[in-house]
Amino acid sequence: LCWAFGFNPQNVHLITGKHKTLFYTSAHTGVLYDLNTKKQRLLLGHCHEITATSVCRNKRFLVTGDIGDKAVLIVWDMRPGTKDHDNVNPVDTLPIKTIFEPHGGFGTLQCDFTPDQKYLVSLGAEPVHQTICIWDWTTAANKPLQQIVIDASPQHVLRINYSEQYEFMTNGKDQVLFYVYDKETNKLEQHKPNWTERQVEFTTSCFLGSTGNACSGTSTGELIYWSNTELNNLSAKLPKGHRASTKSIKLHSSSLRHVSCASDKYIVTGGQEGFVKVFDMNFRILYWCEKLQSGPISSISFSNEHLFDDLMLPELYVATSHCSLMLIHRPPLDKTKHEKHQFSYADSVPLITQVLKGQHDTIRALVTHPELPLVAVAGDASVIQIWDYNTKQLIQTRQFDNEDKKQCIYSLAFSTAGHSIAVGFSNGIVRVLDSSTLQDLPQTVYGNLLGYKVGNVPVHKLQFSNDGSYLASADHEHIVSILHKETVKVKQEEEEDPLFSGKKVDKKPRIKSAKQRIEWVLLGRAKSHFGAIVSLLYPKTNAGESVRLFSVSQDRHVAEYDLSASDTKRGIAVMSIRRIEQIYRPMAAFLSEKQHQVHPEEFITCVNNGYKIRSYAAQTRLCRKTVLGPTFGNLVNQIDIYQGQGEQQFACFSTQQNYIGLLKFPSDGNPYNCTGVLAHPREVSNLISCKKGPYLISCGGSDSSMHMWYVNQQSLEAQISLFGDRMEAFLNMLDPSGEQEQSPIYQEFEDYFYYAQLKHQGEDRFDERLVQDTVPLTSVPSIMQAMGFYGSSQEMDDMINEVKYSRFAQGQGEEVESISFPDLIKLYLNHRPFGHVQKEELETALSHARRLEAGRPTPVGPVTKLDQNQIIRSEGLIALLQQYGESMSLEQIEQQFQQLLFHESPYFGQLPSKFTTKEYIEDLMGMQSSE
């Protein structure tokens, strides 16, 4: 990981000193950002999104915590091996203490250091019986010094009193609590404040410096003041840890999101309406800022430089929920005016400078420029941002109207030359923008519609053709739409041209003249699939050939379109729709090619939900290669070609759970040819390779983060050189015990290999046999079945064809008729199912069989799970076997069950007319749980 774009506005801290540094979090990564050098130091160690952060008072130590399985609390030292408290160097930051599975493994909501920095206070994330803990983080112990269960509703805010040792407070929506820790007796006490309870929702809290008092903000903009004196006797102080409500003040017109104390003199607040206000300790307003216009305030940090000459108020770093960090600072000194003593009111007005910017909602679309080091990102916030990933600067941005989230951005695509960028919205509209300005390209506007209405549901895939003249889209209704760049006639009005973007056309404009220009025209729509479309692919075409398009869907089909034969009158020309999978569903696909003088070919390479990578000939859609794909991080959801240094190619991929990786391509199924890294705390929504530099960029979707990764090709090549070309990796897959060629399963496999030779030469022969190192391809199905892999006829044909035409991919153009024993092992490991048959899969199949019983309505909608005791009739099972997959005749079905149940009482070779799910799985099939 080399750079993190985006940040959590709740976790922003300014660390002042020789290196002015911002600490913030991006998903599961801590970031130390040097404001002077513009460099990042990334703190890695969490598997889940960081929810709790704090920096100690002398700015040397910081702590990070997360929520989830295997949650941790990590303490970091920003000046290891030194006593210089002003020399914070982000590069030297090291983790010095890790607390594993705090709060019973549920993780941490909030945490902070005590004033003496010896202890750490944490608020747990337990769903019930929430706890608060005191940790002595300077020791090796992994257990808290003290822990109590909070006797109140769930709390979500924790604040430390820096003027009083070991006193702190928490608040939830309807309750504020104070705590006192006694170091001598190791007791932690909880106290409820005295106040006249009323219906109010607390949002945040804060101790007010050396006064010893505290305050809490509410959702109505009020501030509740907690005093250490009684309301009826202000001269009498309450015991330590006790507070009473003495007043309530309306400070904001909306919810109070932030309150803190600056320099022990000022109270700084931030509201839901996006306003920042500064009060003195008597709540007299001193300064306010209402011009941020960046959303609700999330957090405020203080600089060591003053905002005004006559006030000791520090400059403010304001983070908003729209993922914007701004600095409110004094204007730079004009030396010319200073020397001439020429000052004005405007010279003292604070300025607002953007420091950081990110996406503040789910990221759904990510694409890189084909020629420049630019990346475009967008999502539910309806904001397109274009970044220079070399300089890390925001180049261009545009905010679209998105009232009630009716126009979220679901997809982006750069044109082949990079001059245009297509945007797909959640309301089924596609808009084509100028990539340099992000303004709509000229088009004729009818009514209020700007863009091209291709449907009513989100457009999740966009792809330009290789020549840039066609734009294909796919939506959530599995419809493919085609836009074509055409020359059209446009009309001019007398005064101005109304046909540019955003301007409406009158029904009867006054005509002055006519001219021509290029516009995008919607040719039509085609519904060729009934499952989600995972890829839109344009094969390469020679000059004069028709432009073709492939759409790959989870319905196991690939549709081919002839775009050159498509127009607005005839619609989209669908050439063919072919099924490529029997059982598994494609999850992602890309085009690959084999460039040979003898037999060049282009392939559609798919990765399916059976953890297989399969390559199909683009012309015939016949399967030519099947290998085992990445098996970590759940299913692969994105895959594409990454062009490495030299001629070596790799496939970069992301998974549904956290991981991204790199795979040597073409792959042979060896697990050592692949590497991966935990990239995000949840699903990776997008992964792309950069055209200008050895980088990958990933998005975490709901965590609103975008991470940039440096690809160290040499590390993977070193791993491949050590293990990638050896047979040991496959033998370990065959038998994980590590016995290699001495394992029983290897020897059994070897026996079948040689027995197949005997059988091929004739079992009744008495002359000398010839033992060879290969077997004919016709023996492969029998050997596979003997090893327990009962593939379908189509799967067996795919295996034979893979070996038979393997030399075509190498440019030799000749068929292979036999296979060696090592290659046979690889073939078996690559084609056999990954993992065991799941009980849920059998139950789903039986649900389909029950829906096919005579007298039941036509199956519609998703399959419901059967109860263990629900009755299934044999006619439904027979109908399923006859209508789906490789259909079987009634005679074949009866023969198979007769062989299966011949010795089984009470069936004796006959399929019963009725049975339950449990009876079919355990009695008829004889299957047992592997658990």
**For residue 729, what pLDDT is reported?**
87
DSSP state of 722: I
Residue 589, Cβ neighbours under 10 Å: how many?
25
533 and 478 Cβ atoms separated by less than 8 Å:
yes
Crossing angle for the helix pair 793-804 and 821-831, to the nearest 10 degrees: 140
> Which H or E element spans position 62?
strand 61-66
**For residue 214, what pLDDT is reported?**
93
Which tens digit of pLDDT belongs to each residue from 306-323? 888 778 889 999 999 999
DSSP string computed for 397-453: EEEPP-GGGSS-EEEEEE-TTSSEEEEEETTSEEEEEETTT-PBPP---BTTB-SEE
Mean pLDDT value across residues 632-654:
87
> Which H or E element spans position 524?
strand 513-526
**For residue 598, what pLDDT is reported?**
60
218 and 201 Cβ atoms separated by less than 8 Å:
yes
124 and 104 Cβ atoms separated by less than 8 Å:
yes
CA dist list (Å): 192 to 195, 244, 681: 9, 9, 37
Question: Is it the case that residue 615 has pLDDT exceeding 70?
Answer: yes
Which tens digit of pLDDT belongs to each residue from 903-919? 777 888 888 888 888 88
Mean pLDDT value across residues 732-747:
88
> Which H or E element spans position 719?
helix 713-719
Pairing of strands 324-329, 351-357: antiparallel
**For residue 50, what pLDDT is reported?**
94
User: Exposed e or buried b for every residue in 168-198, given b needs 16+ CB within 10 A?
Assistant: bbbbbeebbbbbbbeeeeeebebbebebeee
Q: In whole angstroms, give the CA distance from residue 861 to residue 866.
A: 15
Which tens digit of pLDDT belongs to each residue from 333-392? 665 554 555 554 445 688 999 999 999 999 999 999 999 999 999 999 999 999 999 999
Q: In whole angstroms, give the CA distance from residue 382 to residue 410.
A: 9
Q: In whole angstroms, give the CA distance from residue 121 to residue 495.
A: 70
**For residue 480, what pLDDT is reported?**
95
DSSP string computed for 648-678: -EEEEEEESSSEEEEEEES--S-GGGEEEEE
Beta pairing partners, 386: 376, 396
| The token pair that represents 345 in the structure block | 């009111």
231 vs 21, more confident:
21
**For residue 512, what pLDDT is reported?**
41
Q: In whole angstroms, give the CA distance from residue 260 to residue 266.
A: 8
Mean pLDDT value across residues 755-759:
87
| Distance from the Cα of residue 253 to its chain's centroid | 37
Share of the chain above pLDDT 90, in %: 49
Which tens digit of pLDDT belongs to each residue from 829-877? 999 988 777 788 888 888 888 888 887 777 677 777 777 788 888 888 8
117 and 58 Cβ atoms separated by less than 8 Å:
yes
> Sign (positive/negative) of CA torsion 121, 123, 126, 129?
positive
Give the chain's radius of gyration (CA, Å). Answer: 34
Most confident of 40-44, 346-350, 403-407: 40-44
Mean pLDDT value across residues 283-295:
89
222 and 248 Cβ atoms separated by less than 8 Å:
yes
Three-class SS state of 71 = coil
Give 34-60 as a 3 state SS string.
ECCCCEEEEECCCCCCEEEEEECCCCC
User: Which residue bears the tokens 């490529």?
Assistant: 580
Residues near 307 by beta carbon (within 8 Å), at least 6 away in sequence: 287, 313, 314, 315, 316, 328, 329, 330, 350
**For residue 682, what pLDDT is reported?**
87
DSSP state of 824: H
DSSP string computed for 561-576: EEEEEEETTTEEEEEE
Which tens digit of pLDDT belongs to each residue from 510-541? 334 457 788 899 999 999 999 999 999 999 88
Q: In whole angstroms, give the CA distance from residue 358 to residue 33.
A: 15
360 and 322 Cβ atoms separated by less than 8 Å:
yes
Which tens digit of pLDDT belongs to each residue from 85-141? 555 566 778 999 999 999 999 999 999 999 999 999 999 999 999 999 999 999 988
**For residue 92, what pLDDT is reported?**
78
422 and 412 Cβ atoms separated by less than 8 Å:
yes
Residues near 368 by beta carbon (within 8 Å), at least 6 away in sequence: 374, 375, 376, 389, 414, 688, 689, 690, 691, 697
46 and 27 Cβ atoms separated by less than 8 Å:
no
Question: Is it the case that residue 83 has pLDDT exceeding 70?
Answer: no
User: Which residue bears the tokens 């050592």?
Assistant: 672
Three-class SS state of 918 = helix
State the chain's mean pLDDT as an integer: 86
Mean pLDDT value across residues 455-464:
94
Q: Which burial class, exposed, middle or buried, applies to 568 when counting CB atoms under 10 A from its CB (0-12, 13-18, 19+)?
A: exposed
Three-class SS state of 530 = coil
Mean pLDDT value across residues 1-24:
86
Share of the chain above pLDDT 70, in %: 92
Q: In whole angstroms, give the CA distance from residue 382 to residue 65.
A: 31
Q: In whole angstroms, give the CA distance from residue 651 to residue 647.
A: 13
Comparing CA positions, the residue from 269, 268, 213, 218 lying closest to residue 244 is 213
